[in-house]
Structure 1
Amino acid sequence: MHLISLDRIHAAAKELSDVVRRTPLAHSRVLSDHVGGDVHLKCENLQRTGAFKLRGAYVRLRALDERQRAAGVVAASAGNHAQGVALAASLLGIRSTVFMPERATLPKLAATQSYGATVRAEGAVLSETLSLAKEHADRTGAEFIHPFDHPDVLAGQGTVGLEILEQLPHAGTVVVPTGGGGLISGVAAAVKAVRPQVRVIGVQAEQAAAWPASLERGAPVRIEDTRTMADGIAVAEPGEVTFAHVSALVDDMITVSEQALSRALLLCLERMKLVAEPAGVAAVAGILERPDLMTAPTVAVLSGGNIDPLLLLQLIRHGMTSAGRYLSLRVRLPDRPGSLAGLVAQLGDLAANVLDIEHSRISGALALGEVDVEISLETRGPEHREHVVAELTRAGFTVTSER
């Protein structure tokens, strides 16, 4: 299979010149300190529609002939590809129908509709939604727009790589969130054609990692379970086109845990003031987990920022817990006036912020006249957590569990 050429990516860049934003490259001091060399973020979360997907979608739709345009287009997506196709179709005057899973977040549904698409929320999971979209395309004659496995899509995504090298010509490593492989394929094709010595590293959520097994086997491998908070990269099987590019051009493929994704999201929000979705921060998580693989200057692609506010609240708490910023304790106290006040006073002296308290008097482990208190605290980090538990124990409190 022929790989996309640098000329095709340059042509895509011209097609996109008045359509997409040239997203900024932001230096990160905290990540640079972690790696021991400069780290920059390519902020595609600030792109139109909130993700890089518009680039590939527009290039793909622009290449359609008049007959295909008249028939309309259909796509399936949990969010970012949906919005990219909807906006691209609207800009080109093409009718679009987008299938989204029944449980797709309301902000993504609303955004896709606002870009002019007819949205159909069907299918319990994305694979089922994808099948329904393909059936619709076969039945109506509409052109199915694959989210990643097409050379035109790769050419559009490759413009991210061109911009990175224009903004940071001496880049040493480019780290890319990886699902189906459209973004990393395009970025690698652009980067390797201009500066073959640059390392290109893909990052997958370990709970939805089809690429390591596929690369080991030498062909796309389908995985059955893709349950991860990073739904934007939860792809069960690489495509034929993307597999050819990744296997030929990408230097390494690593996986990161859900905890690492949470920590990366919180870091971007708290230290860099950048809102991103879990899939979008996969490259940042990869840098945090494997700094040894990075040759500076390193660029992490922050691929998307479309996150449901309710999920953001959950992930902030999850990320703070992973970073040692939350502590939940069960403390056994005498069931008499003043016991709880003494515990709270001690926690105040230890500079632990009390978030929630709940009493339990029904445990079979309790003796007569005892009560268990479940208490949630905000702490300053792992060392502070340990200090709080040690000081409570030293003060005579019985800590029966902690997490």
Structure 2
Amino acid sequence: MAPFSSFGRWGVDRYRGGVTDPIPLADLEAALLRISTEAVVTPVVRSDALDEAVGAEVLCKAESEQRAGAFKFRGAFNRLSMIPDDDRHRGVVAVSSGNHGAAVALAGRILGIAVTVHIPEDAPVAKRRLIEEAGAEIRTFPAGTGDRESGARAQVAETGATFVHPFEDPHVMRGQGTTALEFHGQVGPLDVLLVPMSGGGLMAGCASAMYHLDPGCRMVGVEPALADDTRQSFEAGRRVFIDPPRTIADGLAVVAPGKRTLSINRGLVAEVRTVTEQQISDATRFANAELGVTLEPSGAVGIAALLDDPGAFAGLRVGVILSGGNLDPDRLLPPPTAA
């Protein structure tokens, strides 16, 4: 693949049949204002070792320092803030492998809304603990099941609670997009921005923000090779459903991208790169040692992509979203690659 520096600026036709309805800038700015009383302005971190390894200026947005340990708090708080007062007594229901649930639980506690989170039986202990500490009720479903939402949907039908989808909800997407809105205000224009991808909500929000603020920035998604639903969907031109993935990047383990998110991302994202379990493990260790922040594997996939193919990014101003830092000490990473 040619280095990014050989590509021109974005054209009006974009990537795959034209721009597909990016989130309006006014909606992103309203979300940023709405969450500003509770969300943390997360730091930008750098490492000489990373710059040297890639041959680029690498600027990392440490969402691992966000409340509840991940970017998910932005979307969760924005969504719960939009629930009408007359509906709040019915509560909120979420489905999550961990970070979304922890974020919704914390947002609910702040806003005085009861929360139930449906999680897989093998959800990371650290993330389960965050949900419990925020006072949410936990219900579990079998690990590896393809239908993660049936129990939650049944509860919503019975109680009238608000279901907060982790990536398809427009208010959640707008909240996640504040990550890039804030990042741009901190660092200015970028040549490329790498964003972890699972259901695609973070990317849909960030790509929309950069479309409005920095249209020369090339958006690159990153996902585990064992959970490459978005890469396959891009290649097929439609949503592709994969078997329930098993990856150390548990926060990126979904069976398909969202319908809404894929519609946005196909028009705004240049490509999706995949990284192996070993590359994710090595990048997690590298980031935790060199950047001064604690990352979970899902939060380190952007670093993994840089280290996998540094020549593609050499000489560029590169942004990376470090999406989360809820590292589970009970889950061992694969041994580091031998030097």
Under a length normalisation based on structure 2, what TM-score does the superposition of the two structures give?
0.90
Which residue of 1 is the match for residue 272 of structure 2? 253
Distance 1:11 1:49 in 2: 22
CA 1:210–1:160 in 2, change beyond 3 Å: closer, same or farther?
same
Which residue of 2 is the match for residue 15 of structure 1? 34
Checking the alignment, whether the CA contact within 8 Å between 1:78 and 1:126 is kept in structure 2 is no
- Once the 2 structures are TM-superposed, how far is the Cα of residue 136 of structure 1 from its aligned partner? 1.4
Q: Note the 1:40-51 alignment, pairs <5 A.
A: 40-51=59-70
Checking the alignment, whether the CA contact within 8 Å between 1:28 and 1:41 is kept in structure 2 is no
Instruction: Find the residue that maps to 1:108 and give its secondary structure.
Output: helix
Q: Which of 113, 129, 132 is residue 113 of structure 1 equivalent to?
A: 132
Distance 1:67 1:221 in 2: 38
Distance 2:21 2:114 in 1: 31
Distance 1:186 1:218 in 2: 20
Q: Note the 1:2-401 alignment, pairs <5 A.
A: 2-125=21-144, 127-294=146-313, 296-311=316-331, 314-315=332-333, 318-320=334-336, 322=337, 324=338, 381=339
Checking the alignment, whether the CA contact within 8 Å between 2:284 and 2:300 is kept in structure 1 is yes
Distance 1:306 1:274 in 2: 11
Amino acid at match of 2:238: A
Deviation digits for residues 359-402 of structure 1, max 9, x if unmatched? Answer: xxxxxxxxxxxxxxxxxxxxxx3xxxxxxxxxxxxxxxxxxxxx
Checking the alignment, whether the CA contact within 8 Å between 1:265 and 1:319 is kept in structure 2 is no
Distance 2:220 2:330 in 1: 31
Unpaired runs of 5+ residues, structure 1, are 325-380, 382-403
Identity %, equivalent residues: 38
Greater strand share, 1 or 2? 1
Distance 1:228 1:9 in 2: 31
Checking the alignment, whether the CA contact within 8 Å between 2:244 and 2:254 is kept in structure 1 is no
The CA RMSD measured in Å over matched residues stands at 1.4
Which residue of 2 is the match for residue 345 of structure 1? none
- Once the 2 structures are TM-superposed, how far is the Cα of residue 148 of structure 1 from its aligned partner? 0.4
Instruction: Find the residue that maps to 1:153 and give its secondary structure.
Output: helix
How many residue pairs get matched? 319
Which residue of 1 is the match for residue 11 of structure 2? none
Amino acid at match of 2:195: V
Checking the alignment, whether the CA contact within 8 Å between 1:266 and 1:319 is kept in structure 2 is no
Checking the alignment, whether the CA contact within 8 Å between 2:194 and 2:221 is kept in structure 1 is yes
Distance 1:13 1:70 in 2: 25
Report 1 or 2 for greater relative contact order, CA contacts < 8 Å, sequence distance ≥ 6: 2
Deviation digits for residues 234-268 of structure 1, max 9, x if unmatched? Answer: 11111111011110111111100001001101101
Checking the alignment, whether the CA contact within 8 Å between 1:51 and 1:303 is kept in structure 2 is yes
- Once the 2 structures are TM-superposed, how far is the Cα of residue 319 of structure 1 from its aligned partner? 4.2
Distance 2:146 2:152 in 1: 10
Amino acid at match of 1:168: V
Unpaired runs of 5+ residues, structure 2, are 1-19
CA 1:288–1:40 in 2, change beyond 3 Å: closer, same or farther?
same
Amino acid at match of 2:322: L
Distance 2:22 2:189 in 1: 24
Deviation digits for residues 326-368 of structure 1, max 9, x if unmatched? Answer: xxxxxxxxxxxxxxxxxxxxxxxxxxxxxxxxxxxxxxxxxxx
Structure with bigger gyration radius: 1
Under a length normalisation based on structure 1, what TM-score does the superposition of the two structures give?
0.76
Checking the alignment, whether the CA contact within 8 Å between 1:98 and 1:118 is kept in structure 2 is yes
Instruction: Find the residue that maps to 1:301 and give its secondary structure.
Output: strand
Deviation digits for residues 132-163 of structure 1, max 9, x if unmatched? Answer: 11221122211111000121111101111011
CA 1:262–1:319 in 2, change beyond 3 Å: closer, same or farther?
farther
